Each structure stands twice: as structure tokens, then as C-alpha cells.
Amino acid sequence: MDSKLFIECVGRLHCPQAVYLTFMSGGGGIAGLKRLVALTRSNPLVKFDTYPSHESKFLSVVESGQWRSTCRTFTVYGLMYGEPELLSLIARDIECIAVEDHFAKAIFTYIDYPARKLAAVTTIIGSVINQGLIDKVKSCGARIDAQLSEIEGVPAMVFTLFNKENNTELVKFSIDGWSGRISVGNAWGDTHCNGPQQIRELIYSALTDRL
């Protein structure tokens, strides 16, 4: 996997968020797994899932040097605390990286499929900006804009409130397409977006606070 994208994705994770790493088949993947094991042992903030079979699974692969029938996907916590140099080495042996499902995941999943990505964007916007929200925004003398954007190379959905009179930006909410984290302004929180109502509630709160 491209090391720059891998490190960018890892950096978007919030503290308690799990990441699912699938290693490449063959010796390269095993070398990457060995590096990850070394990282967990040198940095207590980076941990494998504590499920009992997880440790025996990766230890058997590391000791035998063979995948055999072992699943090549491992659940890891705290990977954002790893050193960038070591993460770059691990990235070379990663087939794919994933997180749990979230509301905006499709815009990252279909990053290389323009038609599907556009359909996902349309669905997300339509589910957030319903008639009730439109009426509320108008009644507060504001307008709302929604668009697909990129934040440091990773797609994100951005909802922005503007003052209708002078068209100044009031506040924007971004949903990271990779991790699902929500930012208010430029501050990323430690929760991921679970649905359109969560975004609407943030917008309603902003209208109350700022207008």
C-alpha cells in the first residue's frame, strides 16, 4: 500500500478506534507482521485486539514464517502512536486497511470509482439536508452548502453554514471519508459519524449558538 496514504489514514484515527490491517500473502506480508509485532512490544500504546486467539494467531505465523490457513487480517488499536518511519515500512506489506462502517465510508470506498462516489455523495447530502433542516436554516437567516472535498488527500463531506445577508461563513462540519471522524471548524473530535441525524443536531446547535 502507498506509504503516504497509509500514514495519512492512520493519522485520522481517533484514540479508541480500531483499524483492520490485511497483510499481503507470502513472505512480504509476514515481514510486515513481524514489524507490527515489534512495534506493539516497543510502544505500549499500540496494541493488538485482546481477544485470546488473536495473539496465538500472529505468534504462530511469526514463528513458522508461513500463513497456512491463518486469516491475514488483524485488529489493532493505537496505531496512530507508531513512529512514521516504521509505519512506512509496515505499509509496504499491507494489502488493505479498513475501519468499522460509518455514515460517509462510501466516499472513501469508491475513491477510484467516480460514478459510485458521486452517487454516495448525493445520498449523503440528501439524507442530511431534509426539508425540516432547510426550513430551520432559512428561518435563522442562514443558508447551508454541502460538497465533497479533500483534506490532505483524503475525501471528506463538508457541510457549511453561511450568514445569508453577507455570505460570511459561520461554521463548517467535516466528515472524514476514511475514519468517519467529525470536525467542527478545524477541530477533529473522537467520535465517528453514525448517521444524518447526528450532523443535523450539530447544525441545529450551531444555529442556536451563532445566530
pLDDT tens, position by position, 57-113: 778 888 889 998 888 999 999 999 999 999 999 999 999 999 999 999 999 988 889
Q: Looking at 45, 71, 98, which one is the last position of a domain? A: 98
pLDDT of residue 51: 63
Question: How far is 29 from 24, CA to CA, in rounded Å?
Answer: 4
What integer pLDDT is reported at residue 206 of this predicted model? Answer: 92
| Residue ending a domain, choose from 82, 98, 114 | 98
- Asked if 190 and 162 sit in the same domain, the reply is yes
**Whole-number pLDDT of residue 129:** 97
Percent share of the chain, pLDDT over 70:
97
Residues 6 or more apart in contact with residue 209 via CB below 8 angstroms? none
In b/e form, how buried is each residue of 40-64, taking b as 16+ CB within 10 angstroms? beeeeebebeeeeeeeebbeebeee
Q: Which domain range does residue 80 map to?
A: 3-98
Q: Are residues 25 and 72 in the same domain?
A: yes
pLDDT level of residue 54 (50, 70, 90 thresholds): low
Res 167: pLDDT: 94
Q: Is 41 helix (H, G, I), strand (E, B) or coil?
A: helix
pLDDT band for position 15 (cuts 50, 70, 90): confident
Looking at the structure, do residues 174 and 190 belong to the same domain, yes or no? yes
Question: 210: pLDDT confidence band, cut at 50, 70 and 90?
Answer: low
189 SS3 class: strand
CA distance 55 to 207: 49
SS3 state of residue 68: coil
* Number of domains comprising the chain: 2
Whether residues 94 and 172 fall in one domain: no
End-to-end CA distance of the chain: 46
> Phi/psi zone of residue 130: left (φ > 0), alpha (ψ -120 to 50 degrees), beta?
beta
Decide: 87 and 81 in contact? Cβ < 8 Å. Answer: no
Which has more confidence, 5 or 88? 88
Measure the CA–CA gap between 55 and 48, rounded to whole angstroms.
8
Query: Do 83 and 132 share a domain, yes or no?
Result: no
- Please give the residue that has the higher pLDDT: either 151 or 90: 90
Domain-terminating residue out of 45, 67, 98: 98
Angle at 193 between CA 104 and CA 116, to 5 degrees: 5
Q: Which residue in the block uniquely carries the three cell numbers 483534506?
A: 151
The mean-pLDDT minimum among 13-22, 128-137, 198-207 falls in 13-22
Identify the three-state secondary structure at position 14: coil
41/131 same-domain check: no
List the helix and strand counts (H, then E) for the chain: 8, 9
Residues 117 and 201 in one domain: yes
Give the model's pLDDT for residue 27.
Answer: 87
Checking if the pLDDT of 31 tops 80, the result is yes
Q: Which of 17, 160, 4, 2 is nearest to 92 (CA)?
A: 2
